[in-house]
Amino acid sequence: MAFYVVQFLTGLASAASLFLVASGLSIIFGVTRIVNFAHGAFYMIGAYIAFTLTERLSGAFGFWGSIVLAALAVALIGVIVEMVLLRRIYHAPELFQLLATFGLTLMVEDLVVLIWGPDDLVGRRAPGFKGAIDFFGQNIPSYDLFLIVLGPVVLGILWLLFQRTRWGVLVRAATQDRDMVAALGVNQKWLFTSVFAVGVFLAALGGALQIPRDAVHHAMDLRIIVEVFVVVVIGGLGSIVGAFVAAVLVSELNAFGILIFPKISIILVFLVMAVVLIVRPWGLFGKPEAAARKTPGLTVNPWRPLTSNERLASLAALVIAAMLPLFAGNYALTVGSEIAIFVIFAVSLHFLMSVGGLASFGHAAYFGLGAYGIAFLAKMAGLPMIVCLLLGPLLGCLGAAVFGFFAVQLSGVYFAMLTLAFAQIVWSIAFQWVSVTGGDNGILGLWPSSWAASPSHFYWLALGVAALVMIALRAMVFSPFGYALRATRDSLLRSEAIGIDAKRIQWTAFVIAGTTAGIGGALFAYLKGSVFPDNLGISLSVDALVMVLLGGVETVSGAVIGAIVYKALNIWLVSQTDLSKLVLGGFIMLIVVVFPKGIVGMLEMLAQRRRKSSPPGSPLLAKPIESAE
Amino acid sequence: MRARNYFIGAAFALLAGGMAHSALAQDIKIGEINSYSLLPAFTEPYRKGWQLAVEEINAAGGINGKKLVVVSKDDGGKPADAQTAANELVSSEGVAMLAGTFLSNIGLAVSDFANQKKVFFLAAEPLTDAITWSKGNKYTFRLRPSNYMQAAMLVEAASKLPAKRWATIAPNYEYGQSAVAVFKKLMSEKRPDIQWVDEQWPPQGKIDAGPVVQAVAAANPEAILNVTFGADLVKLVREGNTRGLFKGREVVSFLTGEPEYLDPLKDETPEGWIVTGYPWYSIKTPEHDAFLKAYQAKYNDYPRLGSIVGYQTIKSAAAILAKAGSTDPEKLIAAAEGLSMPSPFGEITFRKIDHQSTLGAFVGKTVLKDGKGVMVDSSYKKGADYLPSDAEVAKLRPKD
């Protein structure tokens, strides 16, 4: 019995550290609607600074003072980031801020190694909490007891802050309806800055408090960020109590789960999230989001098919791309193939995100399923390449059909997180089911048949498929189905009122996007000759998001440019320097500030301005917008 | 035709001039890939090791009179990126062979690439048994003692312990799984009386150490096998120390004696663990002394195991290239098979039967000395003594 009590307390201690970080993320999201990918980075910097301070300052006051000082210092960094970077892009399309915080995270990962060196750092234990307390023959670390008390105390302080202060009233009001708060004359700028500072302070405090139990190293951020997101979503976005309950739930399920299934930790949080979201679409304590007042951005620049001149230009670009084998070597061609494949992957997500308004955080699942489809068909059934290429993506299609059915019942960030949960479940199956998938050692030896083996032939194949995919998806955007899909995106209520079966349309779009991603994955398997669980992983899903956002989410085909720029730059930087993350992160942040609508989005805006300023009767303006159909 | 050749030549000259690692045509180039940005704690000492080797080789006249150049690339910890890098090295840089890699899945991805493109590949650090056995191929050789060898070395010491009830803690991925599987198999063969009472599989890099330690303690084992390393090991040791998990229990642990993993533990180093590792401070052989002196003179730092691996990878590559007298992959394979050479740990041989080198490791016990962990009572275990019989290996490895 004593054992179960101690195990329960141990779970509570884990929950407390999770809660600190999660509460900060929840507050930030609730008010500013920023999906703060850098929250883990702030947590990590908190730990690093606290390590340095605790090594310098001695004594009990020195230790605890250092922890608080570190958290304050990081909060200050947070304020600077908010004022310099995020303030400029609050009015950018949804999720664009994710791109900025992603760039920041990349930079921080390299910076901490530059500043603190590559070795794992082990900090001091907390003075007064070094030992353990005997509980009927079981040991409970006294630091765990400290954390168990700290969690509810922080919860209480936050509750008081939100319920009993004017600032808290404003924060709650902004969480519910920030346009209304702005309309009532509240200075949003400072409200957002202060909220961001509080959120970052909590993240850094969470990181600093890990010093006595953890090692400080440069991958701490990734270790926690996804888990924290999951906790926030299970609890319900913007709900502090929800975050606390979810942290306890997840930690206790893990503490007792490993007694029965020792391998469960790897997937547990995602299973819990999937179940919770399917049963309660807004998390345990969340409320349905108020119908969003769409930013007019989506309607200012109406979409139109390409004019005949633009079609000719696209064709010319394709022809030039197809001539690459005439003057480029094998390496350039293989890189070209890889970029073409990522164009397919990015446009498939772009279709879902910008036409359907459904941002998926787990799109790599369908890319990877397509790749595994190839691996199964080629290695187990021994089918020839052509057949594999035609059938392999069907696994992506199947996955999208099953998961999409559940996912489209939700919307917004909840939709995104459910897709992430499904992707992680698929990933862990690929990772764990060693006898079939080979686990993380993957499936090797999937090289293309001789007709496609040479780099130039494979390049033409990838380029041809990419072109076909782009044409097909564009045709779909301007088909009746595409209009119906855009209607569900712009107003769910109105589209249902005119008889559109919104869920079915969205589900269809999800399956189309999943299958297309599967085509990309199938080609990728042949390009690399092998398949690994990496092909389904979070970082690939994030890459796809970055490509779409970089290109411009409000455009018809911005993802093409986003994919080319991001992938080419990534490959080149990785080849040139070990600090590729630092440079890439800096570049992304620069793009975010200079092109707040994405690269293509910005170019389109400039072109349109020029059109408006050109004299009336100019041929471009006179042309009825939809005439090309 | 002539004009065109000039043009291409000029273009190449421009390109080459712009590259950081430009080299003359008569140089011999080795393409090196590792997870520099993902695992700097291991790869920084590794890079220092191979840079020292390059310097020594060229100071001694290069390879058959030609200068050795190593072109190094980062793989970011992703198999797909490692292949891109391998392709660049082979297609654009024209390297004579590939070398390096740390993670098992990346080692396998590059080995498969080497097999497909018919390029010689010397895997430096990946531990998976698959790379020389179940997924072995004729183009791939491996330097470091494999999972199986490390397990066999530990079993030799562990089987002498009186403990009968064993529990295991290992990261939940291929390395952890196969380490536990081999250890259990070899241990049960030597000691049929042993019971396996619990196993814990925390996700790699994400151990929730408190509950794991409690769960293992609840099974009340007499001895524990640990396979976790890096930050996970730190958390496990800290929780285990506070909760008294290791008190009165024997612990056998993979790789923990390597300075990379032992040094961060500082004054929390648990005492009496039986570990594999690299006690650079207590090795007294002329070969190692020479290496240690050169390393410390160049970097003013002590070597980690990664330094040895990096150093010996390039030394081995140079020995193979020198013997082959050519960069033709088939000749390189012929030269490497059965080739013996000196190393800081004594003479090693690349076996013909499975392309595994006989580099060994040190097995010893951890103790706390002046506030940091060291290995004592350590002895060098020659790799050749801890491999299965040739008949068994032949069964494990597909025919070329």
Q: Please indicate whether, in this complex, the C-beta atoms of A10 and B211 are within 8 angstroms of each other.
A: yes
Closest CA of chain B from A332, distance in Å: 8
Is residue B42 one of the residues assigned to a domain? yes
Instruction: At B369, list the tokens.
Output: 């000395």
Residue B218 is nearest to which of A3, A213, A434, comparing CB atoms?
A3
Which of B84, B101, B140 is the best residue to mutate to test the A interface, defined by the most A CB atoms within 10 Å of its own CB? B84
Q: Please indicate whether, in this complex, the C-beta atoms of A574 and B73 are within 8 angstroms of each other.
A: yes
Which residues fall within 8 angstroms of residue A64, CB to CB, at 6 or more apart?
A126, A127
- Chain A contacts of B105, Cβ < 8 Å? 440-442, 532, 534
For residue B147, how many other CB atoms are within 10 A of its CB? 27
Q: Rounded to whole angstroms, how far apart are CA atoms A159 and A163?
A: 6
Is residue B63 one of the residues assigned to a domain? yes
Closest CA of chain A from B234, distance in Å: 6
Which of A265, A341, A424, A542 is the best residue to mutate to test the B interface, defined by the most B CB atoms within 10 Å of its own CB? A265
Write down the pLDDT at residue A628: 32
Q: Please indicate whether, in this complex, the C-beta atoms of A441 and B268 are within 8 angstroms of each other.
A: no
Closest CA of chain B from A134, distance in Å: 9
Mean pLDDT of B156-163: 95
Instruction: Tell me if residue A529 falls in helix, strand or coil.
Output: coil
Q: Rounded to whole angstroms, how far apart are CA atoms A230 and A381?
A: 38
Give chain B's radius of gyration (CA, Å).
22
Question: Is B14's pLDDT higher than 80?
Answer: no
- Most confident stretch, A233-237, A258-262, B74-78, B144-148: B144-148
Write down the pLDDT at residue A33: 82
For residue A516, how many other CB atoms are within 10 A of its CB? 29
Q: Which residue of B has its CA nearest to A540?
A: B78
Write down the pLDDT at residue B112: 93
Provide the ipTM.
0.86
Single-letter residue type at A144: D
CA distances from residue B232 to A122, A226, A415, B101, B251 in whole angstroms, order as listed: 12, 18, 33, 22, 16
Closest CA of chain B from A331, distance in Å: 6
Q: Please indicate whether, in this complex, the C-beta atoms of A330 and B91 are within 8 angstroms of each other.
A: yes
DSSP B178-242: HHHHHHHHHHHHH-TT-EEEEEE-PPTT---HHHHHHHHHHT--SEEEE---HHHHHHHHHHHHH
Burial label for A59, CB within 10 Å (0-12, 13-18, 19+), is: exposed
The residue behind tokens 């009825």 is A624
Domain count along chain B: 2
Which residues fall within 8 angstroms of residue B243, CB to CB, at 6 or more apart?
A132, A139, A140, A141, B210, B213, B214, B217
Instruction: At A473, list the tokens.
Output: 């998806």
Write down the pLDDT at residue B290: 96
Considering the domain architecture, whether residues B355 and B377 belong to the same structural domain is answered as no
Instruction: At A401, list the tokens.
Output: 């059909």
Is residue B92 one of the residues assigned to a domain? yes
User: CATH 1.10.3470 in chain A, residues?
Assistant: 308-573+590-596
Burial label for A76, CB within 10 Å (0-12, 13-18, 19+), is: middle
Considering the domain architecture, whether residues B321 and B207 belong to the same structural domain is answered as no
Closest Cα to residue A191, out of A216, A173, A203, A204?
A: A173
Q: Rounded to whole angstroms, how far apart are CA atoms A617 and A619?
A: 6
For residue A119, how many other CB atoms are within 10 A of its CB? 21
Q: Please indicate whether, in this complex, the C-beta atoms of A10 and B172 are within 8 angstroms of each other.
A: no
Considering the domain architecture, whether residues B40 and B81 belong to the same structural domain is answered as yes
Residue ranges in chain A modelled with pLDDT below 70: 94, 289-301, 613-629
Write down the pLDDT at residue B356: 96
Q: Please indicate whether, in this complex, the C-beta atoms of B37 and A14 are within 8 angstroms of each other.
A: no
Q: Rounded to whole angstroms, how far apart are CA atoms B132 and B122?
A: 11
Q: Which residue of A has its CA nearest to B75?
A: A574
Q: Which residue of B has its CA nearest to A107?
A: B37
Q: Which CATH code is given to the segment(s) A308-573+590-596?
A: 1.10.3470
For residue A394, how many other CB atoms are within 10 A of its CB? 17
Question: Is B109's pLDDT higher than 80?
Answer: yes
- Chain A contacts of B83, Cβ < 8 Å? 528-530
Closest CA of chain B from A329, distance in Å: 8
Write down the pLDDT at residue B21: 44
Residue A223 is nearest to which of B205, B214, B238, comparing CB atoms?
B205
pLDDT above 70: percentage of residues in chain B: 94
- Chain A contacts of B211, Cβ < 8 Å? 7, 10-11, 14, 254-255, 258
Q: Which residue of B has its CA nearest to A442?
A: B105
Considering the domain architecture, whether residues B28 and B173 belong to the same structural domain is answered as no
- Chain A contacts of B263, Cβ < 8 Å? 119
> Within 13 Å, how many C-alpha atoms sit on residue A210's CB side?
33
Residue B224 has φ and ψ, to the nearest 5°, of: -130, 135
Tell me how long chain B is. 400
- Chain A contacts of B82, Cβ < 8 Å? none
Considering the domain architecture, whether residues B113 and B157 belong to the same structural domain is answered as no
Considering the domain architecture, whether residues B369 and B334 belong to the same structural domain is answered as no
Q: Please indicate whether, in this complex, the C-beta atoms of B81 and A530 are within 8 angstroms of each other.
A: no
Considering the domain architecture, whether residues B104 and B176 belong to the same structural domain is answered as no
Is residue B393 one of the residues assigned to a domain? no
Q: Which residue of A has its CA nearest to B234?
A: A215
Dihedral sign, CA of A260, A261, A264, A265?
positive
Which of B238, B301, B372 is the best residue to mutate to test the A interface, defined by the most A CB atoms within 10 Å of its own CB? B238
Is residue B397 one of the residues assigned to a domain? no
- Chain B contacts of A14, Cβ < 8 Å? 208, 210-211
Q: Please indicate whether, in this complex, the C-beta atoms of A265 and B208 are within 8 angstroms of each other.
A: yes
Considering the domain architecture, whether residues B369 and B224 belong to the same structural domain is answered as yes
Q: Rounded to whole angstroms, how far apart are CA atoms A412 and A393?
A: 27
Write down the pLDDT at residue B340: 96
Instruction: At A130, list the tokens.
Output: 């070094």
Considering the domain architecture, whether residues B8 and B74 belong to the same structural domain is answered as yes
- Residue A128 DSSP code: T
Considering the domain architecture, whether residues B129 and B263 belong to the same structural domain is answered as no
Domain containing B38 equals 2-146+285-360
Q: Rounded to whole angstroms, how far apart are CA atoms A58 and A63?
A: 6
Is residue B13 one of the residues assigned to a domain? yes
Mean pLDDT of B255-262: 94
pLDDT band at B22 (very low <50, low <70, confident <90, very high): very low
Considering the domain architecture, whether residues B322 and B372 belong to the same structural domain is answered as no
pTM of the model: 0.89
For residue A51, how many other CB atoms are within 10 A of its CB? 23
Q: Please indicate whether, in this complex, the C-beta atoms of B112 and A444 are within 8 angstroms of each other.
A: yes
Say which CATH number the domain at B340 has. 3.40.50.2300
Q: Which residue of B has its CA nearest to A431?
A: B173
Distance of CA B24 to the CA centre of its chain: 31
Considering the domain architecture, whether residues B167 and B137 belong to the same structural domain is answered as no
Closest Cα to residue A51, out of A110, A123, A102?
A: A123
Is residue B399 one of the residues assigned to a domain? no
